[in-house]
Amino acid sequence: MGSSFFTPLSWNDSGFILTGVLNTVTISLVAIIIGTLLGLAIGFIRAEVSRFSNMLLGGVLDVLRSVPLIIQLILFSTYIGAIGHPLDPFVSGSIVLSLYTMAFMSEVFRGGFESVQRSMITAGRSLGMSYWQTVAYIRLPIGLRTVFPSWLGVALSVIKDSALVSVIGYMELLRTSEQLISRTQQPLEILIGVGLFYFIISYPLSLYGKYVERKMSI
Amino acid sequence: MEYEFHWNIVFQKMPQLLNGAFVTLHVSVLSMLIGIAIAVLLAIAKMSDYKLFSLPATLWVEIARNTPALFQIYMAYFGLGAFGIHLSPYVAVLSALVFVNAGYLTETFRGGFMSIPRTQYSASRSLGMNSVQVYRYIILPQMFRRIYHPMTNQFVWSILMSSLGILVGMDELSGETQRLQSLSFRTLEFFMVAAVMYFLITKLVLFSASLVSQKLFKGDL
C-alpha cells in the first residue's frame, strides 16, 4: 500500500479538529442570533405594513432564499475583495449566513405575528394599552409561542448550512476534516466522525422540536 | 477602488452556462424521481410493525435530516473511495441528493398518509370498496394534495443544493461558472449571472408547480 507516504490520523490532530468544531459552533451561533433578531424585526414589519411595501421587502428576501448559499458566499467575498475591503472569512461568512438565516426566520416570525387575532389587539387598545404595550404584552408572547418548532427547524438547518462557509476559507469542521483527509488519506474514518458530530447536535434538538410540536398541538 | 464590470466575456460563454443550468435541472429532476421512489418504500417500511424494516428506514431518515448535504456529498465522493467505489462527480452529487431527498420525502409521505383518518378507510370498505379501490379513490388522492406542496419545496431545495457540485468539480451551473471564471478571472460577473439563473430556474419551477396544482386541484376548498 502506498499509504506509508501519508501520516495517519493521530491524537495530535485532536486540537485541529476541536478548532474546527468550535468554529462551526461559533459561526452557527452568530448567524442564529443575528438572523433571529433581524428576522424578528422584519417578520414584525412584514406582518404590519401595507401590501405594497410588503411585496418589495418580500422580493429582497425571496432572492436570499432562491439563490444557493454557496453562490451568495462566493459573490459577497469576491465583491468585498474587488472593491478593496477584503474581510476576514469569519466576518464575511457571518454576514452572509446571518442574512440567509434572516430570510428564513422572518417568514417564521411573520407567520407567528399574523396568527395573533386582530380582535385581541383591538381589545388591548381599548383597555388603554399603547401600541407598544400591545406588542410587548400581546403580540410577542402569543405570536412567539407557536413558532418555536419552526424556529428550531431553521436554526438546525443553519448549523448544517454553516458547513458551506468553508468555500470562502473559514476553517470550520468540514474544511478541517477535508485538510486532514488530504494529509491522512483516511476519508471514511474522518467523515464518519464529522457526520456523527453534526448528528449528535442536530438529532436531540430535532426530537425536542417534535416533542414540543406534539405537545402544543393537543 | 472601483471595480469595472466586463460583461462581454460572460455573454460569449452563455451557451456553456445554459448547458450547466441544464445539468443542474437534470440532476435535480433525477434526484427527485429516484428519491420519491425510495421514499415510498421507506415510508412503508417506517410504518411497519417489524423492527427489521422500520429501524433501517428510521436510521436513513434521521441521518439524511440531521447531517449537512455537503457532508453527504463528501461521503459519496471521498468516503466511498475506502470501499473501492469511485463515483464521478455527477453520480456522487446525484446519490447524495437522492439520499437526502428520500430521507425528507419519507417524512412527508408518512405525515401525509397519517393525516388521513383511518375511519375513512373503514367507511369506504363498508360502502363496498375493496382495499385497492379505497387507496386509489379515497386515500391517495387526498394524500397527494397534502404532499404536493412539500414535494415542490423539496425539488427547489434539490436545485439549490446541487450547487454544491462546485466542490467536487461537477459540470452543473455552479461548477461550470467556477470553471469559466477561472479561465477569464471575471469572477463577480460570472457568479452574478449564475445567481440570476438560479433565481429564474427556481421561480420557473415554482410557477409551473402552481399552474399544475391549479389544474390538478381544481374545485378544492
Do residues A148 and A87 lie in contact, with contact meaning Cβ atoms separated by under 8 Å? no
Q: What is the pLDDT of residues A51-60, one digit of tens each?
A: 888 888 888 8
- Interval B173-220: pLDDT, tens: 999 999 998 888 888 889 999 999 999 999 999 999 999 998 888 766
Architecture field, domain A12-217? Orthogonal Bundle (1.10)
C-beta atoms of A174 and B62 within 8 A: no
Partner-chain residue, chosen from B65, B82, B163, that has the shortest CB–CB distance to A70: B163
* Residue B2 within any structural domain of the chain: no
| CB contact (8 A) between residue B167 and residue A167 | yes
Domain that residue B203 falls in: 8-214
Distances (CA, A) of A37 to A65, A102, A133: 18, 8, 19
Tell me how many domains chain B contains: 1
B186-189: which pairs have CB atoms within 8 A and are 24 or more residues apart? B186/B6, B186/B9, B186/B10, B187/A74, B187/A78, B187/A82, B188/A75, B188/A78, B188/A79, B188/A82, B188/B3, B188/B5, B189/B5, B189/B6, B189/B7, B189/B9, B189/B10
Instruction: Please give the share of chain A, as a percent, with pLDDT higher than 90.
Output: 56
Percent of chain B predicted with pLDDT > 70: 98
Tell me the H-state helices in A49-88. Answer: 51-66, 69-82
Q: What's the gap in Å between the CA of A127 and the closest CA on chain B?
A: 38
pLDDT for position A86: 85
State the ipTM, two decimals. Answer: 0.88
* Average pLDDT rounded to a whole number, residues A10-19: 83
For chain A, the structural domain boundaries read 12-217
Cα B47 to its chain centre, rounded Å, is 23
Over residues A2-14, the pLDDT tens digits come to: 445 677 777 778 8
Q: Is residue B129 part of a domain?
A: yes
CATH label of the domain that carries residue B135:
1.10.3720.10
**Placement of cell 477584503 in the chain:** A86
Cβ contacts (< 8 Å) between A74 and chain B: which residues? 187, 191
Residue B220 in domain: no
pLDDT in tens, B67-126: 999 999 999 998 888 888 889 999 999 999 999 999 999 999 999 999 999 899 999 999
Partners of residue B161 in chain A, C-beta under 8 Å: 68
Which residue out of A27, A63, A67, A181 would a mutagenesis test of the B interface target, given it has the greatest number of B Cβ atoms within 10 Å? A67
B61 in any annotated domain: yes
Given A74, A75, A160, which is nearest B67 (Cβ)? A160
User: If you search the block for the grid coordinates 472569512, which residue do you land on?
Assistant: A89
- To the nearest whole Å, the CA of A136 is away from the closest chain B CA by 34
H or E segment and range at residue A211: helix A187-217
The pLDDT, as a whole number, for residue A5 is: 63
- Nearest C-alpha of chain B: how many angstroms from A168? 12
